[in-house]
């Protein structure tokens, strides 16, 4: 398994080859680093590449295997990490000028677990600044391109991670999902993206955007690879006050069960209100989604209509809660403690230095959300806006809890439209926000959701979303893996070849 052939394999196959001595972690990791060197000047998925560190870890894995040591299921398989997750000794910027050059002194919990699993970290991937965006156009360091069509966006905020996997520069990646930022990029790049149950893995070391919504999760080319990574990074962490002290759902076993293609007895819900809002979705997306539903029925699933009356309020609710929490979380970037400092020339007051630093360091979308969130939390408005939004969030949660009493999982399109062209929606924030129309409810009720490639529209990938009840991550993987079993070739394996730098 050498050269380009190495990067064509799934993560599960790479891990097996490494364990059985048919390949070394070093040659697989080097093959991915060489591919990054060859094409990332075009795709721009990475903000930082750690060739030396990745190869050192790969060498350690090969030496451990030579000594006969038993290692974890993904040992030696390289991975990319979204730049909103802190990495000790490696730059972490959240794609913002305000953190440019910052080197964290500690690792996030999920990075600790990746390192404990002996997975070489290839580097840090591009994203919308502070995870605020749906296209990666709001990165302070330039946009990432979609490997399927470099004139189109790769989704966001985690477009870098999705593009890295889609372009075979990494077999696996870490993303974060606050309103759809793993699943929506997955849908538009033909990759598999999973948002775990909120609290089932640790937010410790995750640069905060919206603390009650942020969830790290896996990006992969298929359900099994994502499930393997899901189990590596998940589990209780006492350093995260929102962590759930419960066993990790058996997602690997579920993905393997789903791959048999049998969904007999499973009840899948279609939300009535999602269909009523289908006017926001493109016809090609709906057609691919409906074809996927037909495949699920052929596999034995029963489709039932369920109602979530508060769905229409999900988008405005999210865009009150998330910016409000962001305005609080981002107050720490003041030019005093760490990061960028502007105007510190002895002529400006502390307040002026803070203002100049934030003006220079934050991009337009971050500023927009800080202003919106600060207004929603201001005296006289907090109860009318933020307080009401939290009440509606409770109603949305209750709607989905009732729905899951009737069905095992809920399905929908992942996003209403295929990857749009650069600049097409940046002039109208609402049109950009619609990208997360179907994914936001999952974040609001706290359950799991995955996006699995389901087909093409206008030659671009379309994703089908599977949502589950809280701690029902395994059912989402089972359904997604079953849908994959109907495809002769994984969509992730059919992306056009990227021309070199």
Tell me the C-alpha distance between 215 and 196, whole Å: 7
Tell me the C-alpha distance between 474 and 164, whole Å: 26
Q: Which of 44, 82, 97, 118 is catalytic?
A: 82
Paired tokens of 325: 């929490």
Q: Which of 139, 157, 210, 457 is catalytic?
A: 157
Tell me the C-alpha distance between 471 and 475, whole Å: 9
Q: Is 82 designated active site?
A: yes
Q: Is 181 designated active site?
A: yes
**434 within 8 A of 416, measured Cβ to Cβ:** yes
Distances (CA, A) of 271 to 312, 316, 412, 455, 479: 11, 19, 8, 21, 17
Angle at which helices 11-19 and 223-233 cross, to 10°? 70
Q: Which of 25, 181, 200, 234 is catalytic?
A: 181
Tell me the C-alpha distance between 219 and 171, whole Å: 9
Q: Is 96 designated active site?
A: no
The alpha carbon torsion through 117, 119, 121, 127 (nearest 10 deg) reads -70
Return the HEC string of 140-187: CCCCCCECCECCECCCCCCHHHHHHHHCCCCCCEEEEECCCCCHHHHH
Cis peptide before 394 (omega within 30 of 0): no
The alpha carbon torsion through 129, 134, 136, 137 (nearest 10 deg) reads -90
Q: Which residues are catalytic?
A: 82, 157, 181
């Amino acid at each position: 398994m050498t050269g380009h052939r190495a990067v064509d394999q799934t993560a599960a196959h790479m891990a097996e080859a490494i364990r059985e001595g048919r390949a070394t972690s070093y040659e697989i990791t080097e093959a991915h680093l060489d591919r990054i060197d060859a094409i990332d000047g075009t795709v721009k998925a990475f903000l930082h590449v750690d060739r030396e560190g990745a190869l050192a870890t790969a060498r350690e894995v090969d030496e451990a295997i030579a000594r006969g040591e038993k290692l974890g299921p993904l040992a030696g398989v390289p991975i990319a990490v979204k730049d909103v997750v802190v990495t000790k000794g490696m730059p972490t910027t959240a794609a913002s000028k305000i953190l440019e050059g910052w080197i964290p002194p500690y690792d996030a919990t999920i990075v600790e677990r990746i390192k404990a699993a002996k997975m070489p970290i290839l580097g840090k991937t591009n994203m919308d600044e502070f995870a605020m965006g749906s296209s990666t156009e709001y990165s302070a360091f330039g946009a990432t391109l979609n490997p399927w069509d470099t004139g189109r966006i790769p989704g966001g905020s985690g477009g870098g991670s999705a593009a890295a996997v889609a372009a075979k520069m990494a077999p696996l990646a870490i993303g974060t999902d606050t309103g759809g930022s793993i699943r929506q990029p997955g849908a538009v790049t033909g990759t598999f993206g999973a948002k775990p149950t909120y609290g089932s893995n640790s937010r410790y070391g995750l640069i905060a955007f919206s603390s009650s919504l942020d969830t790290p999760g896996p990006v992969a080319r298929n359900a099994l690879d994502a499930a393997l990574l899901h189990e590596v990074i998940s589990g209780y962490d006492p350093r995260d006050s929102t962590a759930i002290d419960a066993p990790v759902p058996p997602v690997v076993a579920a993905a393997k069960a789903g791959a048999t293609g049998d969904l007999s007895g499973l009840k899948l819900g279609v939300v009535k209100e999602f269909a009523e809002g289908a006017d926001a979705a493109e016809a090609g997306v709906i057609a691919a989604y409906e074809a996927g539903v037909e495949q699920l029925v052929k596999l034995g699933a029963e489709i039932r209509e369920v109602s979530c009356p508060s769905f229409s309020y999900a988008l405005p609710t999210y865009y009150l809660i998330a910016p409000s929490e962001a305005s609080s979380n981002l107050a720490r970037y003041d030019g005093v403690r760490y990061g960028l400092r502007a105007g510190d020339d002895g002529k400006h007051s502390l307040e002026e230095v803070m203002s100049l630093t934030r003006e220079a360091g934050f991009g337009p979308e971050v500023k927009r959300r800080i202003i919106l969130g600060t207004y929603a939390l201001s005296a006289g408005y907090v109860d009318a806006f933020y307080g009401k939004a939290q009440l509606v969030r409770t109603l949305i949660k209750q709607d989905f809890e009732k729905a899951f009493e009737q069905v095992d999982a809920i399905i929908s399109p992942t996003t209403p439209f295929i990857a749009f062209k650069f600049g097409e929606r940046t002039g109208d924030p609402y049109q950009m926000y619609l990208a997360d129309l179907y994914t936001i409810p999952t974040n609001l009720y706290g359950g799991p959701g995955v996006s699995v490639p389901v087909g093409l529209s206008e030659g671009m990938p379309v994703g089908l979303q599977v949502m589950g009840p809280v701690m029902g991550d395994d059912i989402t993987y089972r359904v997604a893996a079953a849908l994959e079993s109907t495809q002769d070739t994984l969509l992730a394996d059919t992306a056009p070849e990227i021309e070199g730098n």
